[in-house]
Amino acid sequence: MLLSLNWLKDFITLELPVSELAHKLTMSGTEVDEIIEVGPEWDNVVTGEITDIAPHPNADKLRLTKVTTGEQTYSVVCGAPNIEVGQKIALACVGAELPGGLKIKKSKIRGELSEGMICSEIELEIGNDASGIMVLPPDTQIGLPIAQALQLNDTVLSLGVTPNRSDCFSVVGLAREISAVLDVPLQHSETTCTESGKSIDDVISVTIHDPDLCPRYTARFIDDITIAPSPLWMRRRLENSGIRSINNVVDITNYILLEWGQPLHAFDYRLIQDKAINVRRALHGETFVTLDDIERRPDTDVVMICDGKRAVALGGIMGGENSGISDTTTSVLLESAYFNPRSIGRSSNILKLKTESSERFKKGIDINGVIPALNRAASLVQQLAGGSIAEGIIDVYPSPLPSPDPIQISVEKTNKTIGISLSQNSIKDILGRLSITSEEIDADTIKAVPPTHRYDINAPIDLIEEVARINGYDAVPATNPYAKLTEIPVHTPFSLSNRLRDILTSCGLNEVVNYSFYAPDMIEALKLPESDDRAKPIHILNPLSASQSVMRTSIVPSLLANVRENIHNNCTNVKIFEISNTFLPNPEDKLPRETRRITGIITGLRFGELWNVEKQQADFYDVKGVVESLLHSLNITHYTCTCDSRELYLHPKNMLSLFIENTCIGCLGEVHPDVLEAFDIEQSAFVFDLDFELLSHYYVETPEYKPFSRQPAIYRDLALVVDDSVSSDTIYETIKKYKNKLLTEFHIFDSYQGKNIPAGKKSLAYRLKFQSDERTLTDNEVNKIHDKLLAFLGKEIGAELRN
Amino acid sequence: MKEELTTIRQTSLKEIEAVTSESELYQVKSRYLGRSGTITQIVKNLKNIPAEERSTIGKEANDLKKDLTAAIDNALQNIKQSKKLEHIEKPSIDVTLPGRKQLLGNKHPITLVTDQITQVFTTLGFEIVEGPEIELDFFNFEALNIPKDHPARDMHDTFYVTEEVMLRTHTSPVQIRTMQKTKPPLKIICPGKVYRCDSDVSHTPMFHQIEGLMVDTNITFGDLKGLLTIFIHTIFDENTALRFRPSFFPFTEPSAEVDIQCVMCRGAGCRVCSGTGWIEILGCGLVNPKVFANAGYNPDEITGLAFGLGVERTAMLKYGVNDIRLFFENDYRFLSQF
């Protein structure tokens, strides 16, 4: 909302600097976004008089003029046809920068000196007349800045009015608010119309068929008018409020809308058929062309204004092209109505049409302000467009809305809620400033009745807020809340997510955050089978673009896209993870199933480029190692891995599914080359994707301490040769199966194939740790176990000792 | 015998002197003083020496043993010393070469700021609660006093899944869900992703919010000011000025917007604060009694305060990031800075 202070001053006497007014408005809830000074754009444009005109020696259409500003005379070359000696004009002097951006410089035009420019309305952007220079009234004083001479100077406040304050979407409404904030009186009087001639009842009859949509419809008729441009003062006020001037009658409807917050509509009376206005719901399948020449399709809850034969306006939203004001209009029917706010809000949404009118009706206007606004408009039409106002007024108001209910508030409750201590009188005084009438019921109770323009006040808390606001939030001392201590859980999904972030960042992965939606082909690229829920993402009805139209069912595509973008930016070593929710269809419930995933990807060099470390490409074991570290950190030890080719987006062999108690908690592996290709990635990448809830379920927050042996341990290395087909896991499980309680730990430390190892065989070397809880072991007994183990491995999996 | 000892003394001491390494020294030591060393053997064989000579030879052998031990110890010290000197003096490594860096990853700045904010409140006894990101109209709007076709809905550009189901536009629905299943008193903080159809330099269709709710008896607007002052001073610094400005949210009343003194210009006015010296940082208010009623609480018995803020906006101010979209591009050049 743009507020012209010149306009505001019609209703209130302002004695404080603009900056202070802006501060007080902001601090009382009407935020001032910007203070705009109107006037500087006409700096260096002054009033002057043409004292001499001579022909231009080198151009037929140009003339040489002398212009005096009183103190000084300028030579100005001018091409306008309408110049005459003695005219008072606007002279743009050297240094002026006109609103359109034109800079005035001293120059030679066809060889003749020109020290300025005599301006037209359009060059000054204060009117539409481009036919010649703007001629000022003969009594204009010369040598004055044009902004001063034409009273163009103004200050405009750009205001952020909150949606609850429908009453503040007008100059009068804001004047009322400012009068309350500053505690200064509001000056305004109601307009009375001078009526003559015909009776309105002979001109028009109005019927409201659906009073639920339109509770009140009023109208006046003005005959014998002349459509013309509006006077400068009105044009300036409209333009400064962000509305373009059209002609006097249309401007007046906009002027009243801005001044009173009451949207009006002006019909060209000649185009209204059968002397009738019918207010009714739109019919099934009805179409209507609005004055912007677009065909609209209202549904049956949209209110239509019709004449005897056809619709002439979308009630409260926009008029029709069949009945609007034109240059030839000679009589006008002015409508001032009240439409149901909910209905207008709904219609505006359905028709996808927001106008100054619909926005105001939707927020709610003052039903008692309908007639004063109509009278003010009619009398302005008479004043600016001539004509006569027909006798009488149409006011169809079938069932008057009840006046606002009184609200009782307690002084103590008010003070306790805010944290201040105002007396009953102070509270009543604040309410009075807001035109809320109040009376004392008892020492603690006030009965208050809000004015009809304050729709937002209908409960005690609304009044308490008004008291807090007008008294000032700054006046409330900051206190420490007193609140009871409560038990709160320490281990939550939030805290576990953070724990996982700690683990993964210490594994060298960077955290990323992607949008929860992406393009449908992102998920299609994963080659999921049709039966997979993830292949059926949830669609957004109104996405910003197709690339953000489905909710993520997997995080993997987002990370692949991140990898692609980073490679594109010459960063080829990427290790990232994301912990976010995915959204899966859920036929059993209205809401989808949201499951949190922990997903990561590794590609490029394992350690990056370091001077003292050989360049190594990251591989499968990097991603497996990250997952192992993660599970280890969560004290999850009892999981198993199987290469079951479960995820089609992974390499069918270089992948693993992880299980705990037969539940798959996630997968890891090399990204399938087809998928890499779909994402335009030309280097291998390795991902993991784990289910948060399952990890959270199996996670052991506090592991039990196991006493360790303080006896010396004996280590033995065991280098085995086995068939290629025997997996590391099989050997591992076989050693475990051997079950000797002195063999306490073992791990693989080498894997070798090549020279000295027969073809089709491989060598895996293990370090075994033997230790007793009670005593020192002897070499002999360890050797015995070692030999037996070797024999066992030979029998079970054909392992031989490497020599 | 005596001559033999003298010869041994001379050769052994000479050998010790010539030794250059610890291992050589131990070889010499073992040759003379070891289990089968020359001197050890002589001492062992003393009993075969005639009685009259025995004591003199014995004494001399022992003296030799003592001297030799001392000489060896001394030589050992010297060798160790020269080894240290050599290590210190030998050509040094180029210490200006970069170290073998441990490649740690970074948390996303949104995570970092979310953690800082939630931590302030968990320290004050708030519980972290999360809720679904796709919500029912009831939780996202109706229960929060934002009925259908109400102008207040215009404050939220909503992504819809069906007419009744939407991507939540704020984290406030978590408040309703929590109140529905928990009896007061209550202190919760709700971080999470929220969605609005909006995209430009300062808006992304997804962003993060943190909301707080405190329900008890006798909570005042002054308490709201007090709590949020503590919060702002902890997150920024204790000299950050703040102001509470009346505003409107359907779910709180009275409502306020909190501005902090611009962190860039310290209130002098700059591009970041559009010259006002103030930056809007959070919205807050006392819980609207209608919201309590919708959530099943008795508005006559309890009071509450609520507040909410955008994580990206806070992160932008804290780190000086000028384009909100950077948070979701996941560019290494951005991620590696936090």
- What does the pLDDT look like over A270-323, one tens digit per residue? 999 999 999 999 999 999 999 999 999 999 989 999 999 999 999 999 999 999
pLDDT digits (tens, 9 = 90+) for A407-438: 999 999 999 999 999 999 999 999 999 999 99
- Residue A336 to residue A263: CA distance in whole angstroms: 7
Residue B31 lies in a domain: yes
Distances (CA, A) of A361 to A343, A354, A370, A376: 9, 11, 12, 19
How far does A418 lie from chain B, in Å, by closest CA?
5
Encoded tokens for B132: 């679904």
* Residues B149, B191 share a domain: yes
Instruction: DSSP letter for A403, please.
Output: P
Distances (CA, A) of A313 to A161, A307, A724: 28, 9, 85
Nearest to A757 by CA among A789, A722, A782: A722
Subunit contact A473:B256, Cβ cutoff 8 A: yes
Residue B98 lies in a domain: no
Please state, as a whole number, how many other Cβ atoms lie within 10 Å of the Cβ of residue A738: 16
* Residues B85, B113 share a domain: no
* Residues B148, B44 share a domain: no
Return the pLDDT at A401.
84
* Residues B183, B142 share a domain: yes
Return the pLDDT at A611.
85
**Cβ of residue A544 closer than 8 Å to a chain B Cβ:** yes
Those of residues 293-322 in B touching chain A at CB distance below 8 A are 303, 305
Of B105, B164, B331, the CB nearest to A565: B331
Domain end: B89, B121, B148, which one?
Answer: B89
Subunit contact A478:B222, Cβ cutoff 8 A: yes
pLDDT digits (tens, 9 = 90+) for A787-796: 999 999 999 9
Return the pLDDT at A286.
93
Nearest CA in chain A to B327: A513
Which residues of chain B make contact with A574, given a CB cutoff of 8 A? 332
Q: What helix, strand, coil percent values describe chain B, rounded to 5?
A: 45, 20, 35
**Cβ of residue A113 closer than 8 Å to a chain B Cβ:** no
- Residue A657 to residue A215: CA distance in whole angstroms: 68
Which DSSP string corresponds to A117-182?
EEPPHHHHTS-S--SSPPEEPTTPPTTSBHHHHTT--EEEEEEE--TT-GGGSSHHHHHHHHHHHH
Return the pLDDT at A129.
81
Give me the number of domains chain B comprises.
Answer: 2
Which residues of chain B make contact with A562, given a CB cutoff of 8 A? 330
Average pLDDT over residues A59-72: 91
The answer to whether residue A404 scores a pLDDT higher than 90 is no
Average pLDDT over residues A343-359: 92
Q: What helix, strand, coil percent values describe chain A, rounded to 5?
A: 30, 30, 40
Encoded tokens for A305: 């204004």
Encoded tokens for A284: 């099934």
**Cβ of residue A590 closer than 8 Å to a chain B Cβ:** yes
Nearest to A574 by CA among A610, A618, A544: A618
**Cβ of residue A495 closer than 8 Å to a chain B Cβ:** yes
Strand duo A195-199 + A318-319: pairing: unpaired
- Residue A465 to residue A532: CA distance in whole angstroms: 53
Those of residues 680-699 in A touching chain B at CB distance below 8 A are none
- Residue A301 to residue A210: CA distance in whole angstroms: 10
**Cβ of residue A549 closer than 8 Å to a chain B Cβ:** no
**Cβ of residue A754 closer than 8 Å to a chain B Cβ:** no
**Tens-binned pLDDT, residue by residue, of chain B (338 aa):** 778 888 888 998 899 988 888 899 999 899 888 888 888 888 888 888 888 888 888 888 888 889 999 999 999 999 999 989 988 888 888 889 988 888 899 999 999 999 999 999 999 999 999 999 999 999 999 999 998 877 777 777 899 999 899 999 999 999 999 999 999 999 999 999 999 998 887 889 999 999 999 999 999 999 999 999 999 999 988 989 999 999 999 999 999 999 999 888 888 888 878 788 899 999 999 999 999 999 999 999 999 999 999 999 999 988 989 899 999 999 999 999 99
Which residues of chain B make contact with A537, given a CB cutoff of 8 A? none
pLDDT digits (tens, 9 = 90+) for B106-136: 999 999 999 999 999 999 999 999 999 999 9
Of A511, A566, A612, the CB nearest to B105: A511
Which residues of chain B make contact with A507, given a CB cutoff of 8 A? 105
**Cα dihedral A303, A305, A310, A313 in deg (nearest 10):** -90
Nearest CA in chain A to B99: A612
Do the beta carbons of residue A592 and residue A583 sit within 8 Å? yes
pLDDT digits (tens, 9 = 90+) for A569-595: 999 999 999 999 999 999 989 999 999
Expressed in angstroms, the distance from the first to the final Cα of chain B is: 83
At A93, the amino acid letter reads C
Which residues of chain B make contact with A592, given a CB cutoff of 8 A? 134, 161
Residue appearing with tokens 């042996």: A709
Please state, as a whole number, how many other Cβ atoms lie within 10 Å of the Cβ of residue B289: 20
**Cβ of residue A517 closer than 8 Å to a chain B Cβ:** yes
How far does A513 lie from chain B, in Å, by closest CA?
6
Domain enclosing residue B196, as ranges: 109-335
- Residue A797 to residue A800: CA distance in whole angstroms: 9
* Residues B114, B63 share a domain: no
- Residue A440 to residue A445: CA distance in whole angstroms: 6
Which residues of chain B make contact with A548, given a CB cutoff of 8 A? 205
* Residues B117, B253 share a domain: yes
Percentage of chain A lying above the pLDDT 70 cut: 100
**Cβ of residue A202 closer than 8 Å to a chain B Cβ:** no
Residue B102 lies in a domain: no
* Residues B322, B180 share a domain: yes
Encoded tokens for B65: 């043993």
SS3 call for B146: coil
Which residues of chain A make contact with B101, given a CB cutoff of 8 A? 610
Nearest CA in chain B to A583: B134
Return the pLDDT at B90.
86
* Residues B253, B115 share a domain: yes
- Residue B209 to residue B223: CA distance in whole angstroms: 22
Angle at A745 between CA A739 and CA A750, to 5 degrees: 110
Residue B213 belongs to a domain with what CATH number? 3.30.930.10
* Residues B331, B259 share a domain: yes
User: What band does A189 get if pLDDT is binned at 50, 70 and 90?
Assistant: confident
- φ/ψ of A221, rounded to 5, equals -125, 135
At B319, the amino acid letter reads Y
Residue B99 lies in a domain: no
pLDDT digits (tens, 9 = 90+) for A615-638: 999 999 999 999 999 999 999 999
When comparing pLDDT for B154 and A785, which is higher?
A785
Is the four-CA dihedral B222, B227, B229, B232 of positive or negative sign? negative
Identify the H or E element spanning A730: helix A728-738
Chain A and chain B share a number of CB contacts under 8 A equal to 263
* Residues B281, B229 share a domain: yes
Average pLDDT over residues A480-499: 89
Strand duo A388-391 + A394-396: pairing: unpaired
**Cβ of residue A596 closer than 8 Å to a chain B Cβ:** no
What's the pTM value of the predicted model, to 2 decimals?
Answer: 0.86
Residue B44 lies in a domain: yes
Encoded tokens for A777: 């072991």
Residue B104 lies in a domain: no
Return the pLDDT at A128.
80
The answer to whether residue A243 scores a pLDDT higher than 80 is yes
Subunit contact A473:B161, Cβ cutoff 8 A: no
Distances (CA, A) of B3 to B7, B8, B9, B52, B60: 6, 9, 10, 17, 11
The answer to whether residue A567 scores a pLDDT higher than 90 is yes
Suggest the residue from B249, B253, B312 to mutate for an interface test with chain A (most A CBs closer than 10 A).
Answer: B253
Angle at A625 between CA A624 and CA A631, to 5 degrees: 90
Return the pLDDT at B54.
84
Residue B301 lies in a domain: yes
* Residues B242, B130 share a domain: yes
Residue appearing with tokens 């997996």: A727
Residue B134 lies in a domain: yes
Return the pLDDT at A5.
96
Q: What domains appear along chain A, each with residue ranges and CATH number?
A: 2-39+154-182 (3.30.56.10), 40-149 (2.40.50.140), 195-229+261-396 (3.50.40.10), 407-475 (3.30.56.10), 493-698 (3.30.930.10), 714-801 (3.30.70.380)
**Cβ of residue A416 closer than 8 Å to a chain B Cβ:** yes
Instruction: DSSP letter for B143, please.
Output: G
pLDDT digits (tens, 9 = 90+) for A709-761: 999 999 999 999 999 999 998 999 999 998 889 999 999 999 999 888 899 99
Is the four-CA dihedral B297, B300, B302, B306 of positive or negative sign? positive
Angle at B172 between CA B168 and CA B176, to 5 degrees: 110
Nearest to A188 by CA among A8, A10, A359: A10
Beta bridge partners of A580: A597
Instruction: DSSP letter for A592, please.
Output: P
Those of residues 427-446 in A touching chain B at CB distance below 8 A are none
* Residues B134, B264 share a domain: yes
Those of residues 559-578 in A touching chain B at CB distance below 8 A are 562, 565-566, 569, 571, 574-577
Which residues of chain B make contact with A484, given a CB cutoff of 8 A? 185, 216
Those of residues 475-494 in A touching chain B at CB distance below 8 A are 476-486, 488-489, 492-494
Going through A161-294 in order, the beta strands assigned E by DSSP cover 195-199, 205-208, 216-223, 264-268, 276-281, 288-289
